[in-house]
A and B are shown apart, each in its own frame.
Chain A
Amino acid sequence: QKEVEQNSGPLSVPEGAIASLNCTYSDRGSQSFFWYRQYSGKSPELIMSIYSNGDKEDGRFTAQLNKASQYVSLLIRDSQPSDSATYLCAVTRSGYQKVTFGIGTKLQVIP
């Protein structure tokens, strides 16, 4: 079983729609969860961190965490072509150096 699982995609959504990206993880001791955005040929960029169950909103982005189900998601509202990228889910234990990444979901926003 992979430690952090994501559907590699591509996930195609029309411009203006909501993009929903999902991630599951296997380590029940995980307490910190991150979403990174990686444009083609570039390095990952941190866009969201979430530590508690529930929703966390930042602009058009909402991260959702359900520790009981070992599930974390990222919603992107009003998707724009500039959101087209690969989104990496990452998890770690609190204060622990090692962060485990998923393979990433490639998102394509169609104009």
Chain B
Amino acid sequence: ETGVTQTPRHLVMGMTNKKSLKCEQHLGHNAMYWYKQSAKKPLELMFVYSLEERVENNSVPSRFSPECPNSSHLFLHLHTLQPEDSALYLCASSHPNPGQGNEQFFGPGTRLTVL
């Protein structure tokens, strides 16, 4: 256990559905991330929140909508997804520190299948 939890662990949804992924970190970190991991591709950074403010948005389609109500919780709201959005969605948290690293700790991920 890394101290980062994600729910649900598996999700199957149709293209017209709306669903949300949830992430919670118990590490006292101040930054949280959403990544997408597809087969044979590097981890793709989607969103970064630092102190509950979005600081990075990597040209992600608007059908993905993040929400960070506080430093411990992060959501990814999904609507009208496409089959190519099927992937493993990973949440991570860290405490970036100048002069030190940005060691990120990952949750177990949500395996998303879009039919």
Measured CB to CB, the residues of A under 8 A from B are 4, 8, 32, 34, 42-46, 49, 51, 88, 90, 92, 94-104
Interface contact A46-B109, CB-CB below 8 Å: no
User: Chain B residues with Cβ under 8 A from A103's Cβ?
Assistant: 40-42
Interface of A is mostly: loop
Q: In the complex the two chains form, what is the Cα distance from A45 to B48 in whole Å? A: 19
- Nearest chain A CB to B43 CB, angstrom units: 4
- Nearest chain A CB to B112 CB, angstrom units: 14
User: Chain A residues with Cβ under 8 A from B107's Cβ?
Assistant: 43
Q: In the complex the two chains form, what is the Cα distance from A43 to B87 in whole Å? A: 12
User: Chain A residues with Cβ under 8 A from B41's Cβ?
Assistant: 103
Interface contact A49-B101, CB-CB below 8 Å: yes
Interface string of B94-115 (1 = CB under 8 A from A): 1011111111111111000000
Does B2 touch A at the CB level, under 8 Å?
yes
| Residue contacts A-B, CB under 8 angstroms, 25 given | A32-B101, A34-B101, A34-B103, A42-B109, A43-B90, A43-B106, A43-B108, A45-B106, A46-B103, A46-B105, A49-B101, A51-B100, A92-B101, A94-B99, A97-B48, A97-B50, A97-B55, A98-B45, A98-B48, A99-B45, A99-B102, A100-B42, A100-B45, A103-B42, A104-B42
